[in-house]
Structure 1
Amino acid sequence: MFKGKKTLVRATLTLIGTIIGAGIFGVPAMMERVGVIPGSVLFAAISVVVLATHLLLLDVVARDPVRRRFPGYLGEIFGPWAKRLGTVTHILQISGANFAYIVLGGIFIAELASVCGIDIGVLTWQIVFWGVGVVTVVSMLRVVSRIESLLTWLLVALLVFLIGSAVPQADIGRIATSSWGSFFAPFGVFLFAMFGMTVIPEVYEIAGRRIARSRLAVIIGTLVAAVVTWSFGVFIHLATPPGMAGDLGALAHVINMPALRLAVPLIGFLAVITSFITNAFDLQAMIRLDLRQRPIVSKIITLGIPFVLLFIVQRDFLAAIDVVGALFAASNGLLVVVAASAVLRRRTRPRTEADTASPFWWRVIVPTVAGGVFVLAILQRVASIAL
């Protein structure tokens, strides 16, 4: 019993730590852009769709006795072409996300360094952040995985502290300000901020490959991350001066105690580094398990692509997470719901405890609605690029 609760907590914290990353720091700017009411409506809708997608992917994972990653499941269900497509979208999503983490992580390290009187360009600190990630992933991943739960507890505690500091300063009158005409503008950022599908196979393994325990971990983890992310977005937006919600440096002024203003870049660094490491672990596992590549190849691909992007793409974290969320995360979400619907409709001999009949609404209606949302996100982003 105790072991089951322990694995449930660890699995839940793994998902929370993955979801709460760079994306959370883009939510206040999006709330300011569209207003609290429209932003909250869209965020709630996306959170429900993401939760459904996480659970659908869990159904796919739990019905296959072989350990794989996302592209491997697609290949098993639809064939080699689907595996190739999933490999491309999976690598693009994780590499794009880790690029955004490097951009933002360097900004937070620069903030910490400036307090110590060290004034060096942000790009240098972004390279330093990447270097820290390389050392961690290459030589100390097991050590970090052992303290990942502790880091996530610390991260959530610091975020709650920051939200609590923002509540008394919140200008409630600004809630009435809305821009419904820009309702879909935060689509990509919100998707990025809430998407944790890359770690679902790991959650299932941590939960002892028990489907009921895994579902509970996914539900609790996704909802806790949603509440924390929404609260952060709304109250930081309301507590910062107009036009400053997207300014990471302005976040420190939410805390009235100067001695504690280091908490903001510290929160940011913890949020970003935990997600960077988890993403790197997932991509390495995918390359080894699904593509059958050597560990050195998986490390080069995992760590090399984001580093190259640092020098050939504009280092704008808000634009980066918008593109990654609206195009690559949405594409992977669409592939998940299509794959899950196909798996849930099959009539095969049970191979695992998850191989039970699913109700019509879960195997047809939910994937159809979620798929429609992902298609809308992709089309909205493509249209904005074209225009």
Structure 2
Amino acid sequence: IIIFLFIFGVGHIDTENLKSVSWGYFFIPYGVILFSLWGTSIIPEIKEMLDGDLKLLRKVIIWGICLAAFVSLLFSLLVIGISGEQTSQEGLSGLEGRLGQRVLSIGYVFGIITTFTSFIALGLTTKKILWYDYGLNKRIAWFIGSFIPLFLFIIGLQNFIEIIGLTGAVMLGLDGLLVTVIFLKIKKQDKSRNYIKLKIVGTLLMILLSLGVILEFFYFIKGY
């Protein structure tokens, strides 16, 4: 999607639009950014694909995060540079006036494919967690992972930014706290030589994640 939009949109970028960014809303994208870069739920699937090769898994995780961050940054700069203050929540519809409906239609198709494949991956992970870890019936676990998100959408949870922001900052923030606590506990039991350094970094990370949860609730109640 990024390459496609870049080819058709690079000539429409106005650098003045990039100057219109308000730093007073600096924190608001935090949850969305965390959501776009978070990938802990898919790590077990990648490990299976790599036959348990931990060294290769480490490289895949690092490069995966770097690539995702680069693509997200490029997409953000491209969209803001083209549409400026007319930027829409999902980023694409605001480009229609500059790129035309035909180009946007192709972008929407790729967007749907990307969203659907992500939904499949996360749905499969949710199903396995409920099935393996919580002992739920396989069919019930599949139903929850597949249809609960659709149900929430039907009953009115349709604000794209609020949903992704809240999910990223709060739910994934709490997930990050749990992962950090578990990691530090394992390192302590293993009597790792770097435990003190890891504990300092882990503590700072937990403080930042906790602040993210609190601030996201504040902005959510305030209505962004």
Residue 365 (str. 1) matches residue 200 (str. 2) = yes
Residue in 1 that maps onto 2:78:
235
- Secondary structure of 2:52 counterpart: coil
Deviations 1:282-337 (A, max 9, x none): 01111121112221111121123113212323321121111111211111111111
Where structure 1 has 5 or more consecutive residues not aligned to the other structure, the ranges are 1-157, 349-356
Maintained 8 Å contact 1:165/1:254:
no
TM-score, normalised via structure 2 length: 0.88
Identify if the C-alpha distance between structure 1 residues 244 and 384 changes in structure 2 by more than 3 Å, giving closer, same or farther.
closer
Instruction: Tell me how far apart the structure 1 counterparts of residues 70 and 4 of structure 2 sit (CA, whole Å).
Output: 14
Instruction: Tell me how far apart the structure 2 counterparts of residues 192 and 386 of structure 1 sit (CA, whole Å).
Output: 19
Instruction: Tell me how far apart the structure 2 counterparts of residues 193 and 174 of structure 1 sit (CA, whole Å).
Output: 23
Deviations 1:99-119 (A, max 9, x none): xxxxxxxxxxxxxxxxxxxxx
Instruction: Tell me how far apart the structure 2 counterparts of residues 297 and 203 of structure 1 sit (CA, whole Å).
Output: 25
Identify if the C-alpha distance between structure 1 residues 259 and 382 changes in structure 2 by more than 3 Å, giving closer, same or farther.
closer
Maintained 8 Å contact 1:166/1:235:
yes
Residue 319 (str. 1) matches residue 158 (str. 2) = no
Residue in 2 that maps onto 1:278:
121
Residue 375 (str. 1) matches residue 220 (str. 2) = no
Maintained 8 Å contact 1:252/1:261:
yes
Instruction: Tell me how far apart the structure 2 counterparts of residues 279 and 259 of structure 1 sit (CA, whole Å).
Output: 31
Identify if the C-alpha distance between structure 1 residues 362 and 226 changes in structure 2 by more than 3 Å, giving closer, same or farther.
farther
- Secondary structure of 2:85 counterpart: coil
Residue 214 (str. 1) matches residue 57 (str. 2) = yes
Aligned identity (percent) is: 24
Instruction: Tell me how far apart the structure 2 counterparts of residues 254 and 270 of structure 1 sit (CA, whole Å).
Output: 23
Aligned counterpart for 2:134 among listed residues 281, 285, 291 = 291
In the TM superposition, what is the alpha-carbon distance from 1:167 to its structure 2 partner?
2.5
Residue in 1 that maps onto 2:92:
248
Maintained 8 Å contact 1:340/1:363:
no
* Root-mean-square deviation (Å): 2.2
TM-score, normalised via structure 1 length: 0.53
In the TM superposition, what is the alpha-carbon distance from 1:253 to its structure 2 partner?
4.8
Letter in 1 for 2:42: V
Aligned positions of 1:120-131 closer than 5 A? none
Instruction: Tell me how far apart the structure 1 counterparts of residues 197 and 14 of structure 2 sit (CA, whole Å).
Output: 41
Aligned counterpart for 2:41 among listed residues 198, 204, 208 = 198
In the TM superposition, what is the alpha-carbon distance from 1:382 to its structure 2 partner?
2.1
In the TM superposition, what is the alpha-carbon distance from 1:181 to its structure 2 partner?
2.3
Maintained 8 Å contact 1:207/1:213:
yes
Instruction: Tell me how far apart the structure 2 counterparts of residues 182 and 251 of structure 1 sit (CA, whole Å).
Output: 22
Instruction: Tell me how far apart the structure 2 counterparts of residues 174 and 310 of structure 1 sit (CA, whole Å).
Output: 32
Deviations 1:9-29 (A, max 9, x none): xxxxxxxxxxxxxxxxxxxxx
Instruction: Tell me how far apart the structure 1 counterparts of residues 105 and 219 of structure 2 sit (CA, whole Å).
Output: 37
Residue 162 (str. 1) matches residue 1 (str. 2) = no
Residue in 1 that maps onto 2:178:
335
In the TM superposition, what is the alpha-carbon distance from 1:374 to its structure 2 partner?
0.8
